[in-house]
Amino acid sequence: MGSATIFVWLQLPNVSKSYRTALTITGIVTLIATYHYIRIFNSWVEAFEVLSKDGGDYTVQLTGAPFNDGYRYVDWLLTAPLLLIELILVMKLPQQETVSLSWKLGLASALMVALGYPGEIQEDLSVRWFSWSLSMIPFCYAVFSRAEGLAGATSKQSSPAAASLASAARYLTVLSWCTYPPMYMVKSVGLAGPRATMYEQVCYSIADVMAKAVFGVLIWAIAAEKSAVEESGKQLPK
């Protein structure tokens, strides 16, 4: 995550001015994630004590300090809207459309995270399901409008390479986002205990790297390709 931040920020001077805001936000998203993953790492390490190691098997006991999933939700509350905004910005739509899409999708994705949290910290399965269902309303709205709205924008990109990168970013964002609701449900279908918790954390982490760092590098690739096309267009007399 931190490497993605440094990578996109060091690329700032290499893209046209009009894509620098998108890249700045891309780096902020992965920076916020870096911070929260350090918090998550420390919280995880403090929650368990490794008693012994026998070959590949560890004997671990709870220390009593609870592992805090709240860091993940604060991270998502901040990064989910920003992720949508970086994608909208790199598409370079007309200004009015950029502002209205950013507000609508930004608020929907923040609401999605806020509605999901009360269920995540519950053992009560009915509350988990209720919270999940409420959260799915803004989730579906955000994912569908992105898939549809950006399909139109993709076809208007300045070069075939930019269009294919934009289409890859669209697929990556829809696919990676769609992995979160089933992961959330793992604990709701009665799977519990340390193994379920571990797999949930591993899967959330992989999905986060895909949705933020890999996605961020794609945003940079789109910005770099469009900058190159626009620059060569300026130099050639038409």
The first and second tokens of residue 15, run together, are: 């893209």
Residues 37-56 interacting with a copy of itself (rule: CB under 8 A): 50-53, 55-56
Q: What is the 3-state secondary structure (H, E, C) of 112-163?
A: HHHHHHHHHCCCCHHHHHHHHHHHHHHHHHHHHHHHHHHHHHHHCCCCHHHH
> How many of the chain's residues bind a copy of itself (CB under 8 A)?
35
Tell me if 17 contacts a copy of itself by CB under 8 A. Answer: yes
Please identify which residue in 1, 22, 32, 89 interacts with a copy of itself, judged by CB under 8 A: 32
Task: Identify the residue among 14, 100, 155, 232 touching a copy of itself (CB under 8 A).
Answer: 14
In angstroms, the CA 89 to CA 20 distance is: 9
Work out which of 43, 98, 122, 158 binds a copy of itself, going by CB under 8 A. 122
The residue among 52 and 235 lying less far from a copy of itself, judged by its C-beta, is: 52
Q: Which is nearer to a copy of itself, 31 or 143 (CB)?
A: 31
Contact 63, 47 (CB under 8 A): yes
Rounded to 10°, the helix 20-47/70-91 angle is 170
Q: Which helix (H) or strand (E) holds 203?
A: helix 193-208
Q: Which residues bind a copy of itself (CB under 8 A)?
A: 2-3, 6-7, 9-12, 14, 17, 20-21, 24-25, 27-28, 31-32, 35, 50-53, 55-56, 58, 64-66, 78, 118, 121-124
